[in-house]
Amino acid sequence: MLLQVLGTAAGGGLPQWNCACPGCAGARAHPERRRRHASLAVRADAGRWYIVNATPDIGDQIEETPALHPGPAARQSPLAGVVLTDAELDHTLGVARLREADAVELVATTPVREALLAGPRLGAVLGPYTDLNWRELGAHPLTLGPELRVTAVPVAAKRPRYAAGTGADDPHWVVALVLTEPATGKSLLYAPALAAWPDAFQDAAQAADCVIVDGTFWDEDEPVRTGISARTASDMGHLPIDGPAGTACRLTSLDARCLYTHLNNTNPLTDPDDDRHKQLADRGLEVAADGMVIEL
């Protein structure tokens, strides 16, 4: 299995356009600290790739990834489709950037598809430009190509703000993805948003060769302490990395290679010199980097 990390930042990116917090200021002063919105490219077959989550940065992410460049024909693209983990704007706004395609394949759960069609009216807005071909994402493996199958693991019933009060309390609003290469059995568990750690997620994590999970906040009180919210990390739908309820202790017990993504601009891990990187390294854990290539 071959994959490339396209971005590792939470909503707003790093730096965020209207923020002068230490993380954003540090990224402006040191461009190497910049992070694009969290996304992933996974090879499905020779010359065919799927992108996980279409972020506002998708155009730049494609340009920075030679494997995703078009050619040799004038309008021949290796991008086969997009797999969505949820309906949040920072994971879906990039679909509109793909409107020049004859058709766009979108792989999503039922509540995510319905939210995007009813809220941002994705179908109506993009219909005059391109066809949206939806495929159902669920518990049964969906074949995306000879080298790639995908399965959804429900992790939260958190709706995006534009869909508040709509739909049922369905845990398929936010899912983790199990991406598997049939020939080798190698698998990746990808969960950029993780509000809970259900048994099914634990089973998938124990079976995976690589786990990339939500690293939005370092600790539970970070959003309150930094003044960005009156809610804690868990209340905002993100398990923290550190602390009694943190994910670090769970990941340490796994045999898989474990990395964090989806870092908020307030997260001290946005500073590569912060001592917390060593704390993670001592536990065998990593922070994913934009452009990182992982082969399983």
CA 113 vs CA 4, 116, 132, 137: distances in Å: 25, 5, 11, 10
* Structural domain that includes position 40: 2-295
Amino acid at 133: N
Residue among 199, 217, 193 at smallest CA distance from 86? 193
Given this model, what pLDDT does residue 166 score?
Answer: 79
Given this model, what pLDDT does residue 99 score?
Answer: 97
Instruction: Characterize the bridge pairing of strands 293-295 and 285-287.
Output: unpaired
d(CA 191, CA 188): 10
Q: How many domains does the chain have?
A: 1
261 token code pair? 């993504």
Given this model, what pLDDT does residue 245 score?
Answer: 82
Q: For residue 15, is the peptide bond before it cis, meaning its omega torsion is within 30 degrees of 0?
A: yes
Given this model, what pLDDT does residue 104 score?
Answer: 98
pLDDT 10s digits, 50-87: 999 999 999 999 999 999 999 999 999 999 999 999 99
- pLDDT tens by residue, the chain, 296 residues: 999 999 999 999 999 999 999 999 999 999 999 999 999 999 999 999 999 999 999 999 999 999 999 999 999 999 999 999 999 999 999 999 999 999 999 999 999 999 999 999 999 999 999 999 999 999 999 999 999 999 999 999 999 999 998 777 899 999 999 999 999 999 999 999 999 999 999 999 999 999 999 999 999 999 999 999 999 999 999 999 999 889 999 999 999 999 999 999 999 999 999 999 999 999 999 999 999 999 99
Q: Residue 18 belongs to a domain with what CATH number?
A: 3.60.15.10
Given this model, what pLDDT does residue 169 score?
Answer: 85
Q: How deeply is 63 buried, as exposed, middle or buried, from its count of CB atoms within 10 A (0-12, 13-18, 19+)?
A: exposed
DSSP readout, 166-189? -S---GGGEEEEEEE-TTT--EEE
Q: Report the predicted TM-score, pTM, of the whole model to 2 decimal places.
A: 0.97
| Distance linking the first and last C-alpha atoms of the chain | 5
Given this model, what pLDDT does residue 165 score?
Answer: 82
Residue 80 makes CB contacts below 8 A (sequence gap 6+) with 44, 48, 49, 50, 105, 144, 145
DSSP assignment, residue 263?
B
